[in-house]
Amino acid sequence: DSKSRVTIVGSGSWGSVAAKLVASNALKLPSFHDEVRMWVFEEVLPNGEKLTDVINKTNENANYLPGIKLGRNVVADPDLENAVKEANMLVFVTPHQFMDGICKKLKGKIKGEVEAISLVKGMEVKKEGPCMISNLISKELGINCSVLMGANIANEIAVEKFSEATVGYRESREIADTWVQLFSTPYFMVTPVRDVEGVELCGTLKNVVAIAAGFVDGLEMGNNTKASSSNEAAIMRIGLREMKALSKLLFPSVKDSTFFESCGVADVITTCLGGRNRRVAEAFAQSGGKRSFDELEEEMLEGQKLQGVSTAREVYEALNHRGWMEMFPLFSTVHQICIGRLKPDAIWSRGRGNSELV
Ligand code: NAD
Ligand code: 13P
Is 61 a pocket residue for ligand 1 (Cβ < 6 Å)?
no
**Shortest-distance ligand to the CA of residue 267:** 2
93 alpha carbon to ligand 2 midpoint, in Å?
Answer: 13
Query: Is ligand 2 within 6 A of the CB of residue 91?
Result: no
Distance 270 CA to ligand 2 centre (A): 8
Would you state the pLDDT for residue 225?
52
- Tell me the sheet residues that pair with 36: 6, 74
**Main-chain dihedrals φ then ψ at residue 64, nearest 5 degrees:** -115, -15
Tell me, using a 6 A CB cutoff, whether residue 239 lines ligand 2.
no
Q: Is 188 in the pocket of ligand 1 (CB under 6 A)?
A: no
Rg (CA), the chain: 20
Q: How far apart are CA 308 and CA 276, in angstroms?
A: 9
CA–CA dist 342, 35 (Å, integer): 50
C-alpha span between 223 and 302 (Å, rounded):
30
Amino acid present at 340? G
Q: What is the pLDDT of residue 349?
A: 85
Q: What's the pLDDT at 226?
A: 64
**pLDDT score recorded for residue 357:** 60
Distance (Å, whole) CA 182 – CA 226: 40
Q: How far is the CA of 228 from the centre of ligand 1 (A)?
A: 30
Per-residue pLDDT of the chain in tens (358 residues, 90 and over written 9): 789 999 999 999 999 999 999 999 999 999 999 999 999 999 999 999 999 999 999 999 999 999 999 999 999 999 999 999 999 999 999 999 999 999 999 999 998 899 999 999 999 887 777 899 999 999 999 999 999 999 999 999 999 999 999 999 999 999 999 999 999 999 999 999 999 999 999 999 999 999 999 999 999 755 545 667 888 899 999 999 999 999 999 999 999 999 999 999 999 999 999 999 999 999 999 999 999 999 999 999 999 999 999 999 999 999 999 999 999 999 999 999 999 999 999 998 888 766 456 4
Does ligand 1 lie within 6 Å of residue 308's CB atom? no
List, by residue number, the catalytic residues: 206
Q: What is the chain's length?
A: 358
The Cα 317–Cα 254 span in angstroms is 21
pLDDT of 126: 78
C-alpha 2/C-alpha 32 separation (Å) is 9
Choose one of 124, 156, 277, 305 to mutate for the ligand 1 pocket test, by most ligand atoms within 8 angstroms of C-beta.
305
Per-residue confidence (pLDDT) for residue 112, from 0 to 100: 83
> Is this prediction's pTM over 0.90?
yes
Ligand 1 test: best mutation among 8, 11, 13, most atoms within 8 Å of CB? Answer: 13
Quote the CA–CA distance of 138 and 247 in Å, as a whole number: 20
Query: What is d(CA 77, CA 58) in angstroms, rounded to the nearest whole number?
Result: 14
Ligand approaching nearest to the C-alpha of 19:
1
Cα of 153 from ligand 2 centre, angstroms: 6
**CA–centroid distance, residue 349 to ligand 2 (Å):** 26
Minimal-distance CA residue to ligand 2 atom 2: 276
| Beta bridge partner(s), residue 44 | 50
What CA–CA distance (Å, rounded) separates 1 from 3? 6
What is the C-alpha to C-alpha distance for residues 159 and 185, in angstroms, rounded to an integer? Answer: 13
Pocket flag, ligand 2, residue 37 (CB < 6 Å): no
Whether residue 98 has its Cβ less than 6 Å from ligand 1: yes
Distance between Cα 339 and ligand 1 center (Å): 22
b (16+ CB within 10 A) / e for 112-138:
eebbbbbbbbbbbbeeeebebbbbbbb
Alpha helices, H only, the chain: 13-28, 51-58, 80-84, 99-106, 133-141, 154-158, 173-183, 196-219, 229-250, 267-274, 276-286, 293-301, 308-322, 329-338, 346-349
What is the structure's pLDDT at 263?
98
Number of neighbouring beta carbons within 10 Å of residue 298: 11
CA distances from 309 to 43, 184, 214 (A): 24, 31, 12
Give the whole-angstrom CA distance, residue 246 versus residue 336. 18
Q: Which ligand is nearest to the CA of 95?
A: 1
Is ligand 2 within 6 A of the CB of residue 204? no
What pLDDT shows up at residue 130?
Answer: 87
